[in-house]
Structure 1
Amino acid sequence: MASSLTKDAAQQGTPANGGKTFFGHPRGLAPLFMTEMWERFSYYGMRSLLVIYLISGGPDAEKGAQAGGLAMNAATASAIYSIYVAMVYLLAMPGGWIGDRIWGPRKTVAIAAGVIMTGHLVLAVPGQAGFFAGLALVAVGSGLLKANISTMVGHLYDGPQDPRRDGGFTLFYMGINIGAFAAPLVIGTVGQSINWHLGFALAAVGMALGLVSFLVGTRHLSPKSSVVPTPLQAEERAMWLRKGLIWVAAAAVFYGVVGFTGHFTLDWALIPLALLGLIIPITVLGRIKRDKELTDTEQTKVSGYIWFFVAAAVFWMIFDQAGSTMSVFAEKKTNGQVFGMDFPSSWFQSVNPLWVMALAPVIAWLWMSLARRDREPSTTVKFSMAMFFIGASFAVFIIPMMMASDGSKVSPMWLLSIYMIQTIGELCLSPVGLSVTTKMAPQKYASQMLGVWFLAVTAGDCITSLLSTAGADLSGPPVLAAEAGLAVLAGVAVWLSRKKIVALMGDVR
């Protein structure tokens, strides 16, 4: 599970002190913890239902399962899911920009929570048009919230040297995983077993609780969270408004013509968004790389960083199929019983956060233990390990896929094992990627580079969406083998080039 955006806080202010603390941390961490937990509850709860709802009533739905969905095939559902996740992470960059330049982090988060809640309420209303409008609102709100809430966590501490800072972010990250773990068990059960739209409504309730927690606790936040760090000047505001209106008008005219001539299909929306999700990361990295204001050392580090970015895009391309390819497999081809008790397939979406909570302390202890003996793997080796694990997970996935090819159902232990392998890979890549991004970021782009890191998620999911719309059978052994092979090859390439990459990284290790 990709963690929330944590912006560099070298210039962030002093603790918002009060008499009481939250597990030894500033009291303002409590409302931020609760807001993030409930936001993740709503996000992962809806996500656990998304693909199953899209295929419900269609040719790829499980026989005897609840009807009432949009009756799409699995390929279209996977493409929609991938674009949705990609847009959430793509919109984190403009979300951070809006917090920095227009509303300030606190106001942006409050508005974001309201937008997310509204999106889930729209999803709770039956109808295809409303469904896509709801998805768009949730994606926009999540993008607004993702960057700014983490910034406010940083505001609670006295700069990066505050000894409580890392522990505070660790506690905050636990809120993410608690919400992600509980969501499929609650929202997934209600939506899949009782009524889809009631499940979506529960996601709205979760976000409403998060918004209330935030508004009640705002008095404990740092005053700096209400400040707009670099407000737009009047002429800049007019320029951005003019550009935005031009793009909106152009899109409206284009899609109006396509729709009026009767040529519009869902691919007219999915393919441009997927291409946009690939073009923007390439453009952003290219712009940073070509910036003549960067020093030679910074230019060299950007070149080294591109290796990690490409590897991460391949990783997330596979990892995020937990909610699409693996979700369909769980629904149709996995035995939904344990100890004689039936459970809905959406429960499998709780497995990754459960593994994260179980394995993160073990992995952290392992790195510390190896570091004491001066044997901790370098960043390049950790990335290579992550690529091997994610590739191995899909190589293992081929086995139950082939076992179920005759229509039989496999043991849930297969998916539990695959999620475990993927989580180990995630813990080798995600925290390390966040860390190396902050270390290798040019000073000019210190705050923006973590947004760039999350563009790797966007790129990976957009590749998956394009494969789906092109007709690739993502649930077929040949495609699984190709993806597994690509990940392993990427890991081997990073490992073989580790000396070159280390040289490009300069003083970063």
Structure 2
Amino acid sequence: MASSLTKDSASTTGTEKTFFGHPRGLATLFMTEMWERFSYYGMKALLPLYLVAPGGLHLSATTATAIYSVYLSLVYLLALPGGWFGDRVLGPRKTVAVAGAIIMLGHLTLALPSAGLFYAGLGLVAIGSGLLKANISTMVGHLYDGPDDPRRDGGFTVFYMGINLGAFASPLIIGTIGEEVNWHLGFALAALGMALGLGQFLLGSRHLAERSAVVPTPLSAEERTSTLRKGLIWMAVAAVFYGVVVLTGHYTLNWLLVPIAVAGLVIPVWVLARIKRDKDLDRTEQSKMSAYIWFFVAAAVFWMIYDQGGSTMSIFADSSAENSVFGWEFPVSWYQSVNPVLIMALAPVFAWIWLALNRRGKEPSTIVKFASGLVLVGASFFVFLIPLTIAGDGHKAAALWLVAIYFVQTVGELTLSPVGLSVTTKMAPAKYASQMMGVWFLAVTAGDATTSLLSIGGVELNGKGVVAMEAALAVAAGVAVWMYRKKVKELMGDVH
């Protein structure tokens, strides 16, 4: 499949093949990520609908949102140990292969008609996704001759397109099969997608950089023994604790959801505090970390609202929206294809706008872009109040209202997410240069953990009052970031 996308390069040998002018290994990683995202986003589109459906687990909307948010929180939380595992144990290439197998097994477990196994399947997909997410991007970087290779940025752009192609196609295919035919068949189709991705990764791995097979900083024998012992001790403690809870008849789903959600808030705070208090950091690095905390908190607020597009809004669409265009009805899961198609359409436009403004000396600063992203995601929930009001009057809200919300959120994402990735690499202390991308993902964890805790507490996230409060919070946070932009800019030092 990938070989059909290659072409002869302009190399001196005339025999080396490239992938649209990039190293041949990019085709392998492009296809792996595309199929992994196909499986991930397809299952994600089905998840909240299956949780509330009478033919699914038939849970309440609040419980479904809590499970969905905890799951997303766990995926991004596990990206941090996933990166550590690739760096210290197996190396990126073997870690991605293992991750693909775990993800495929998780989707197959979801395909089994068993409520108990369903949660185990979610756990496996989360573990595999955390392992893969942290390592596959690293291997893209390995294909190029250092950070100054002129093809590097273009390579990551091509790779990013693979993510969005998979994310766009999967709700249309997996969502349709899951909703219209059989839920578990949809989950099985997600497993098939991951199997295709894993198969072509194994076949095409010979085209990857040799560095991808190397363990950068392997554990010593003593560290390996100590890590294994600590892991087994914590597993034993968890097994004994949950065994007692189950045997005494006190176990409910919240015994699983609450600890993960709390960890999703505590761990990001602990990681940031540990870095901020590190005495090895000089004054400039300490100042940049103080500024970074502003961006981190802003991003957590952003993702708290943004990720409800797959839970709160999806559940609302299932019960209260007229999911049709010009009389043609479509599955609810198709809404999840709106964001990736908008990303593919608008990302080049935004790149052009930033360059054009930069040439004129008018490009907004990183701080202003972040503030704009927060205001926009808040505005999207103010728009959400309109279909909520329509549904409250006993009518079905038009599908275009939901599309409008996703459009505003996507514009907000394009002003905040790429900038956040960039500023993370620029402001990272030298000691934590390889870890800071995992720290950035923890902002998503914190946002989704907050959503899950609200849902566990019984808060109706699709209530007009709650939606208005979240919208106002995001706008207020955006205004606060903008008002304190001079102070944050001073803390950032030479980073612009």
What is the aligned counterpart of 2:275 among 272, 275, 288?
Answer: 288
Higher mean C-alpha deviation, range 402-411 or range 137-146:
402-411
Q: Is the 8 A contact 1:33 1:172 kept in 2?
A: yes
Q: CA RMSD, aligned part only?
A: 0.9
The aligned residue for residue 464 of structure 1 is 451
Structure 2: which amino acid aligns with 1:364?
A
Residue 77 of structure 1 deviates from its aligned partner by 0.3
Corresponding residue of 1:182: 169
- State the AA in 2 paired with 1:33: F
Q: Which residue of 1 aligns with 2:24?
A: 27
Residue type of the partner of 1:217? G
AA matched with 1:171: V
Q: Which residue of 2 aligns with 1:63?
A: none
- 1:45 and 2:42 correspond: yes
Aligned-residue offset at 1:442: 0.2
Aligned to 1:5: none
TM-score when normalising by structure 1: 0.94
Deviations 1:372-392 (A, max 9, x none): 000000000000000000000
Question: 1:340 offset after TM fit, Å?
Answer: 2.3
CA deviation string 1:257-311 (max 9, x = no partner):
1111111111111111100011100000000001001111001100000000000
Cα distance in 2 for residues equivalent to 1:466 and 1:208: 34
Quick one: distance in 2 between partners of 1:302 and 1:289? Answer: 6
The total of aligned residue pairs comes to: 483
What residue is the counterpart of 1:388 in the other structure?
375
Distance 1:272 1:149 in 2: 29
Alignment of 1:469-480 (within 5 A): 469-480=456-467
Give the whole-Å Cα distance in 1 for the aligned partners of 2:321 and 2:368. Answer: 34
The residue matched to 1:21 in structure 2 has which SS?
strand
What is the CA–CA distance in structure 1 between the aligned matches of 2:480 and 2:457, rounded to whole Å?
Answer: 27
1:18/1:27 contact within 8 Å kept? no
Q: 2:53 aligns with which of 56, 70, 74?
A: 56
8 Å contact kept, 1:278–1:459: yes
Q: For residues 20-46 of structure 1, what are the alpha-carbon distances to aligned partners after superposition, in whole Å with 9 as ceiling and x for unaligned?
A: 000000000001000000000000000
The answer to whether residue 285 in structure 2 is matched with residue 298 in structure 1 is yes
Deviation string 1:46-67 (CA, Å, 9 cap, x unpaired) is 000000000011xxxxxxxxx2
Aligned to 1:496: 483
- Secondary structure of the 2:322 match is coil
Counterpart Cα distance in 1 of 2:422 and 2:177: 38
Deviation at 1:339, TM superposition (A): 2.6
> Do 1:92 and 1:147's aligned partners in 2 also have CA atoms closer than 8 Å?
yes
Paired letter, 2:375: F
- In 1, the alpha carbon distance for the partners of 2:277 and 2:111 equals 46
Q: Given that residues 384 and 494 in structure 1 are in contact (C-alpha distance below 8 angstroms), is that contact kept between their aligned partners in structure 2? A: yes
Match of 1:353 in 2: 340
Of the three residues 73, 94, 107, the one matched with 1:120 is 107
Query: Once the two structures are aligned, what percentage of the paired residues are identical?
Result: 69
Per-residue deviation at 1:18?
7.2
Report if aligned partners of 1:18, 1:26 keep a CA contact under 8 Å in 2: no
Stretches (4+) displaced over 2 A: none
Residues 1:106 and 2:93 aligned together = yes
Matched letter for residue 40 of structure 1: R
- Residue 249 of structure 1 deviates from its aligned partner by 1.0
**Residue 423 of structure 2: which of 436, 444, 466 is its match?**
436
1:55-454 equivalences in 2 (<5 Å): 55-57=52-54, 67=55, 69-454=56-441
Contact 1:301–1:506 (CA<8 Å) still a contact in 2? Answer: yes
2:289 and 2:229 mapped to 1: Cα distance? 32
CA–CA distance in 2 between the matches of 1:108 and 1:18?
A: 31
Q: Which amino acid aligns with 1:414?
A: W
Partner letter of residue 454 of structure 1?
Answer: F
Q: Which runs of 5+ in 1 are unaligned?
A: 1-16, 58-66
Quick one: structure 1 residues 249 and 18, their matched pair in 2 at CA, closer, same or farther if it must change by over 3 Å?
A: farther
**Alignment partners' CA distance in 2, 1:442 and 1:375:** 29
Distance 1:399 1:322 in 2: 15
Q: 1:224 to 1:304 in 2, by over 3 A?
A: same
Contact 1:115–1:137 under 8 Å retained in 2: yes
Corresponding letter in the other structure for 1:46: M
